[in-house]
Structure 1
Amino acid sequence: MIGFMAPQDIADRTTAAVDAAVGAGRDLGLDVTDAAVLHDVFSVVVHLAPAPVVARIPTVLPHYADPDSVARRQRAELDVTRWLADQGTPVIPPSALVPREPVRRGGFSMTFWEFVADDRGREPDYEANSESVADLHAAMRAYPGRLSFLDAAEPRFVTEGLALLDKRPDLLDPDDLDRARREWQVLEPYVQTRAAFEAAFPGIDLQPIHGDSPPANIFAGVDGDRYSDFELVTLGPVEWDLAALGPDLEAAYNRGARRNGQRQLDERVLAFVNGVGMLRAIASLALAPQLPALVDYIGPAVDGWRTMPFAGGMAD
């Protein structure tokens, strides 16, 4: 495929990220002799063994991202997870062996986390995970720090991603792109400002939320489940964290919400976040030259999106 990174280029990117993490870890006083890559998709996640520390290095990023903008988001994630850990919420916390701040090296901005052994024999239970997200939301409500409104929607990413796809009909059919642009004209104002959202959805409270499908980001540790990957932590409606998961998992969340005395999911807000989430997924196709697997991964989602109400029904 023309314009896509070759496998060797991707392997070189991974090697550069690992080398940067190993060098940064050693500079911070960690004993690193057997680094092992644990995950490599949008970020390279590497265990800096034998130190009980994991480095996460974002590597697949929009063209406008730079170490400063990446570090700002990383600081929010570090602050929220450290606070949650201090409250006794089961999260993967920042490593206590290094300063709790992003570290730059080799053109990357990285963070360091406590190593937690995973229970490899256990399959994810997404229904149980979705019910558990209500517990996470209950814990996050009291977070005292400041978070921006719906940063996780990444409106600049959607706008610029759709613009880039105008030149890539091999990635998205022009008719689909036309619909996506028209939907974004309807939906964008409600993710740009809190005032616009609150006017459209009166009575829907906003709070700190995970931001990136927490039922899919619960880590099965040998010592129990841990909430993880708060890279898109933001202020928003709880529905955002259940976007595109379907009625069964929504019902599971509602069971947890009733147990905690919280409000249940609002159907109109769910339709809205599902619409925005789909446009964000479609815009992600603009990253496919950096991560070719996205083409096959997002294709089925685009098929499903064609059957959804236009702009989540917000244009009615």
Structure 2
Amino acid sequence: MATFLTPQQLADRTAAAVAAAVAAGRALGLTVTEPRVLHDLFSVVVHLAPAPVVARLPTVLPHPEDLAAVGRRQRDELDVARWLADQGVPVIPPSPLVPPEPVRRDGFSLTFWSYLPEDRDREPDYVANAESVADLHAALRGYPGRLAFLSAADPDSLDESLAELDRHPTLIDAADLDRARREWRALAPPARSRTAFEARFPGVALQPLHGDSPPANIFHGVDGDRYADFELVTLGPVEWDLAGLGPEHAAAYDRGARRTGGRPLDPEVLRFVNALGTLRVIATLTLVPRLPPLLEYLTPAIDHWRTTPFAGGLTL
């Protein structure tokens, strides 16, 4: 049976993350007297006020203790964000006040970003955001660094999570878990292997991607919109960045692709990434004991999955 963290334990984890961020910032020469938590879900995000710097510390991960693996992802994120900023792409850039590299402190691996004031009166327009993702993809096509194929899907942790869910019967019933495992067996080959993907979806180009639903990760700053949170940056088909969104968002992206000279979304690939993305949602159930409020975010997607065809109707 799962043991869920209590509200006090969650608060203690947040406090420890803030303390680590403050200590790391001060060690790098920043003046920090009024730290303020901006966000606290999978990561704790702290404005190290009055310094114009934000620290982000991942706290809810499949293997948070593997700081080397966390750091590798963070280096990719910092490299991509810095490169995009150098190209004039509107992103939240790494802070220029500290070295652009992950820092380990008190059991956390953290990164530092420029603080930008948010336009809190503006509501997100996810359809417009989906269209603008085509602009981001156009810029990312020129990124010269090496990225792993569909690392954002994290096949190894998906294997582990589906096995671990046997021990969490309160989070998923046996019939749902059996279906998820059968779907994963069908989807795994093109998710794990670029060669298998290209054989199944011939002619579908791959490129650097944001990796984590960029329409939901556009920061509305007082000085304009900026792409943010490249923690899952990866190589893959552009469809991955539109997974889980509806036809209206796909149509908006296609409008942007026509405008920027990109390719429209491929319906078969979109079915594949939608099905794979849903399995990632199910795998995320294993994190609920460490973050109980997460369950309310995951439940609607899993309820919808039960109404859909096996593996999204994709023939594999």
What's the TM-score bracket when you normalise by the shorter of the two chains? over 0.9
Alignment correspondent of 1:8? 8
Residue 22 of structure 2: aligned partner:
22
Q: Is 1:165 matched with 2:156?
A: no
Instruction: Give the corresponding residue for 1:127.
Output: 127
What's the offset of the Cα at 1:295? 1.6
1:296, CA displacement in angstroms? 1.6
Deviations 1:77-130 (A, max 9, x none): 000000000000000000000000000000000000000100000000111100
| Structure 1 residues 168-207: aligned runs within 5 Å | 168-207=168-207
Distance 2:226 2:259 in 1: 20
| Equivalent residues, number | 316
Runs of 4+ in 1 over 3 A off after TM superposition: none
Partner of 2:223: 223
Shift of 1:64: 6.8
- TM-score (norm: length of structure 1): 0.98
Classify the secondary structure of the residue corresponding to 2:49: coil
Q: How does 1:22-41 map to 2 (within 5 A)?
A: 22-41=22-41
1:274 equivalent in alignment to 2:274: yes
Conserved? CA contact 1:275–1:312, under 8 Å: yes
Q: Report the Cα distance in structure 1 between the residues aligned to 2:64 and 2:307, rounded to whole angstroms.
A: 32
How many angstroms apart in 2 are the aligned matches of 1:100 and 1:64?
21
Q: Distance in 2 between matches of 1:156 and 1:2?
A: 22
**Matched residue, 1:138:** 138
How big is the shift at 1:194? 0.4
One-letter amino acid matched to 2:256: G
**Over aligned residue pairs, what C-alpha RMSD do you find?**
1.1
1:43-62 matched pairs, under 5 angstroms: 43-62=43-62
Q: Which residue of 2 aligns with 1:253?
A: 253
1:245 is displaced (CA, Å) by: 0.5
Which secondary structure does the structure 2 equivalent of 1:169 belong to? coil
Which ranges of structure 2 fall in alignment gaps of 5 or more residues?
none
1:157 to partner: Cα distance? 1.6
Partner of 1:306: 306
Is the 1:150–1:236 contact (alpha carbons within 8 Å) kept by the matching residues of 2?
yes
Equivalent residues of 1:187, 1:314 under 8 A apart: no
Query: Structure 2 length as normaliser, TM-score?
Result: 0.98
Write the distance in 2 (CA, Å) between the matches of 1:163 and 1:285.
Answer: 12
Match for residue 208 of structure 1?
Answer: 208
The Cα offsets for residues 49-73 of structure 1, whole Å up to 9 and x where unpaired, read as 0000000000011137511000000
1-structure distance, mates of 2:302, 2:286? 14
- Distance (whole Å) between structure 2 residues aligned to residue 175 and residue 294 of structure 1: 22
Q: Which letter maps to 1:59?
A: T
Give, as a single letter, the amino acid of the residue that structure 2 aligns with 1:178.
D
The residue type paired with residue 294 of structure 1 is L
Q: What's 1:63 paired with?
A: 63
| Aligned partner of residue 112 in structure 1, secondary structure | strand
What are the Cα deviations for residues 255-300 of structure 1, in whole angstroms up to 9, with x where unaligned? Answer: 0001111110000000000000000000000000001012221111
Q: Where do 5+ consecutive residues of structure 1 fail to align? A: none
Look up the SS of the partner of 1:34 in the other structure: strand
| SS at structure 1 position matched to 2:50 | coil
User: 1:264, 1:187 → 2: CA distance?
Assistant: 23
Q: How far, CA to CA, are the matches of 2:230 and 2:283 in structure 1?
A: 21
Could you tell me how far apart the structure 2 residues matched to 1:276 and 1:184 are? 8
The AA in structure 1 aligned to 2:76 is A
Report sequence identity in percent.
Answer: 69
Asked if the contact 2:218–2:225 (Cα under 8 Å) also holds between the matched residues in 1, the reply is yes
User: 2:2–2:168: 8 Å Cα contact kept in structure 1?
Assistant: no
Q: Aligned residue for 1:265? A: 265
Instruction: Find the counterpart in structure 2 of residue 152 from structure 1.
Output: 152
Greater shift in the superposed pair: 272-281 or 155-164: 155-164
